[in-house]
Chain A
Amino acid sequence: MMKRRAALALIPALIPVLALVAALPFVNRLHPVVLGLPFLLFWILAWVLLTPLFLAISYALVDRRDDDGNGGADR
């Protein structure tokens, strides 16, 4: 059960990774200009700003019993 939840928490975190790494060949362009920024820069910036959102979802999914306590010495 713990393992499943940990794996589940990985999924939202992978989305910004794909956007900032794998998607780059497809967004390497100037147009359309968004908010005055060339598209490539806008894309990277947008995903940097969206990352906390995705990590917050991971945070909700991760098994927080792991994070509590005193380092697990008594487990």
Chain B
Amino acid sequence: MTTPLLVIVGFVAVSAVVGVVGRGRGAMDVERWSVGGRRFGVILVWLLMAGEIYTTFTFLGASGWAYSRGAPAFYILAYGTIGYIISFFLLPPVWRMAKRLGLHTQPDFFLARYDSQVLAGMVVLIGVISIVPYLQLQLAGLGMIVEIASAGAISSETAIIAAFAVTCVFVYTSGIKGIAWVAIIKDVAMLVAVGIIGIGLPAMYFGGVGEMFAELMRRHPAHLVFPGGTTTMGVGWVISTILLTGMGFYCWPHTFASAYSAKDARTLRRNAIFMPLYQLPILLVFLVGFTALLMMPGLENPDTALLELVTRSYPGWFAGFIGGAGAVTAMVPSAMLLLGAATLLAKNLYRPLRRRPIGEEHLMRATRGFMLLIAVAALLLALWSPNELVKLLIFGYDGVAQLFPAIMLGVFVPRATARPVIAGLVAGEAAVVSLIWSGHDPFLGLNAGFAGMVVTATVTLVAMAFLHGGTAPAAAEPQR
């Protein structure tokens, strides 16, 4: 076993132990497993939300895009900020509704607010289908890390399977609280790793960040303004992508439901204020990508740029540390995604479809069963259908962001009802899928998901104007 690999394995093992120990004592039920008993304060909520945001995508995808695309990658720095600003206003009323009605999942919210099993079922499917490419992204990144760290001794397939097994064990036994503790390890490791290489690599090769940029501007001046190294990602694409992904930020089932775990609504607002600062490490990751472009141009897979540059520039144990940090940043979000998706399928699709009522224990078993099912599905996809990391993330966002109009209407417009929302979702998702499949992404210079959201919002609003059927359920009444 090579030194880097040994370090990575140790890193992952320690994290898994912390995850299992961190669950705390006592019996596990769905409430505790999925929302931690709704008792988390500022720090744990912050960790959870950050845990979902810093993924292996941040490490590898962002540096890969800085390397290959240049300026369009800057959208990654901006969209989270837009997402937090929206969350400042959106999440407190969502939290209040969740608390009052005892909601656990995102479809619970739709069911309570719109009183429609059909809509809740659609939301489950949209969420789970969008999560699969996101999970696949984490797995592909994980495989890449271990493969490069072991200098090819371990194939990425073997790496993906092994690390994913560990992830499954720890989410299976510990639930959300165990994950929150591992998120601490992951965030500290990630911040240290990115801090060292983001400042260190430009300094090592060029004497500083400013000098590195001066060299980049001399050699590739077009790389640092839109559309960068691309022909299709001009300023229109960047704006529409920032808007789409910013609005989609809290539409993911797991990010939406992470708001439920806060102990009060004020916690959520304070989080929103400080979270933008947490975007800073992304800048450092860009710096690594740019340095890699200058030092080793022409890599076959841009997503490997960061790892290749690190293994070339540092001793083995440090490369191992970077790899370990990268592996944990893949595992924590994978665990969150799995937990989220499995809870949805069990609680919001499986349970309503059963004719007889089922008990808590049965539900818990079903949740764990679905978790393994989704894990295996994403595993198979990661092994057989590779794709560029940023692409995978944007695909997921394209689908899940279509929920945004329905969430906003649900929270702020009491007279919105289920049927217009369903019509909008069907039209919008159909538009997104057909644009992507027919190769029209970007569409007229805009992100295809954004074009889809224009369809979703328009159809929903027009349908609201023409369909007067039904009255809003009681949950829609403004809460004062």
Which of chain A's residues 27-69 have a Cβ closer than 8 Å to chain B? 28-30, 33, 35-38, 40-41, 44-45, 47-49, 51-52, 55-56, 58-59, 62, 64, 66-68
Q: Is B137 an interface position by the 8 A CB rule?
A: no
Q: Is the CB of A68 within 8 A of B264?
A: yes
Q: Is the CB of A45 within 8 A of B276?
A: no
How many angstroms between the C-alpha atoms of A41 and B238 in the bound complex? Answer: 13
Q: Which residue of A lies closest to B227 (CB)?
A: A28
Q: Is the CB of A51 within 8 A of B84?
A: yes
Q: Is the CB of B81 within 8 A of A20?
A: yes
Q: Is the CB of A20 within 8 A of B210?
A: no
List residues of chain A with CB under 8 Å of any chain B CB. 2, 9-10, 13, 16-17, 20-22, 24-25, 28-30, 33, 35-38, 40-41, 44-45, 47-49, 51-52, 55-56, 58-59, 62, 64, 66-68, 70-73, 75
Interface size class of B (residues with CB under 8 A): 35 or more
Q: Is the CB of B479 within 8 A of A75?
A: yes
Answer whether A41 and B269 are a contact pair too, CB < 8 Å, given A24-B235, A51-B84, A67-B92: no
How many angstroms between the C-alpha atoms of A13 and B269 in the bound complex? Answer: 12
Q: Is the CB of B78 within 8 A of A66?
A: no
Contacts of B213 in A (CB 8 A): 33, 36-38
How many angstroms between the C-alpha atoms of A18 and B351 in the bound complex? Answer: 44
Q: Which residue of A lies closest to B101 (CB)?
A: A71
**Interface CB pairs A-B, < 8 A, 16:** A21-B239, A24-B238, A24-B239, A36-B214, A37-B213, A40-B71, A40-B74, A40-B224, A40-B226, A44-B78, A48-B77, A49-B277, A55-B84, A62-B269, A66-B96, A73-B100
Which of chain B's residues 189-244 have a Cβ closer than 8 Å to chain A? 208-211, 213-214, 217, 221, 224-226, 235, 238-239, 242-243
Q: Mark contacts of B312-332 with chain A using CB atoms, 8 A cut-off: 1 yes-contact digit, 0 otherwise.
A: 000000000000000000000
How many angstroms between the C-alpha atoms of A33 and B217 in the bound complex? Answer: 10
Contacts of B97 in A (CB 8 A): 71
Q: Which residue of B lies closest to A14 (CB)?
A: B85
Contacts of A68 in B (CB 8 A): 264, 266
Answer whether A71 and B274 are a contact pair too, CB < 8 Å, given A13-B88, A51-B84: no
How many angstroms between the C-alpha atoms of A30 and B270 in the bound complex? Answer: 35
Q: Is B273 an interface position by the 8 A CB rule?
A: yes
Q: Is the CB of B266 within 8 A of A64?
A: yes
Q: Is B283 an interface position by the 8 A CB rule?
A: yes
How many angstroms between the C-alpha atoms of A31 and B242 in the bound complex? Answer: 23
Q: Is the CB of B221 within 8 A of A30?
A: yes
Contacts of B214 in A (CB 8 A): 33, 36
Answer whether A30 and B77 are a contact pair too, CB < 8 Å, given A49-B276, A56-B273, A72-B479: no
Q: Which residue of B lies closest to A45 (CB)?
A: B283
Interface of A: prevailing SS: helix
How many angstroms between the C-alpha atoms of A52 and B211 in the bound complex? Answer: 30
Interface centre among B81, B97, B221, B286 (most CB of A within 10 A): B81
Contacts of B272 in A (CB 8 A): 55
B138 to chain A, nearest CB (A): 24
Q: Is the CB of A72 within 8 A of B480?
A: yes
B434 to chain A, nearest CB (A): 26
How many angstroms between the C-alpha atoms of A56 and B209 in the bound complex? Answer: 31
Q: Is the CB of B479 within 8 A of A51?
A: no
B128 to chain A, nearest CB (A): 28
Contacts of A9 in B (CB 8 A): 89
Cross-chain contact of B78 among A20, A59, A62 (Cβ < 8 A): A20
Q: Which residue of B lies closest to A52 (CB)?
A: B273
Contacts of A38 in B (CB 8 A): 213, 217, 224-225
Cross-chain contact of B85 among A13, A30, A36 (Cβ < 8 A): A13
How many angstroms between the C-alpha atoms of A22 and B78 in the bound complex? Answer: 12
Q: Is B21 an interface position by the 8 A CB rule?
A: no
Q: Is B463 an interface position by the 8 A CB rule?
A: no
Contacts of A21 in B (CB 8 A): 78, 82, 239, 242-243
Which of chain B's residues 276-326 have a Cβ closer than 8 Å to chain A? 276-277, 279-280, 283, 286
How many angstroms between the C-alpha atoms of A13 and B276 in the bound complex? Answer: 13
Q: Is the CB of B479 within 8 A of A55?
A: no
Cross-chain contact of B224 among A41, A52, A71 (Cβ < 8 A): A41
Contacts of B217 in A (CB 8 A): 30, 33, 38
Cross-chain contact of A29 among B93, B210, B225 (Cβ < 8 A): B225
Cross-chain contact of A20 among B71, B82, B211 (Cβ < 8 A): B82
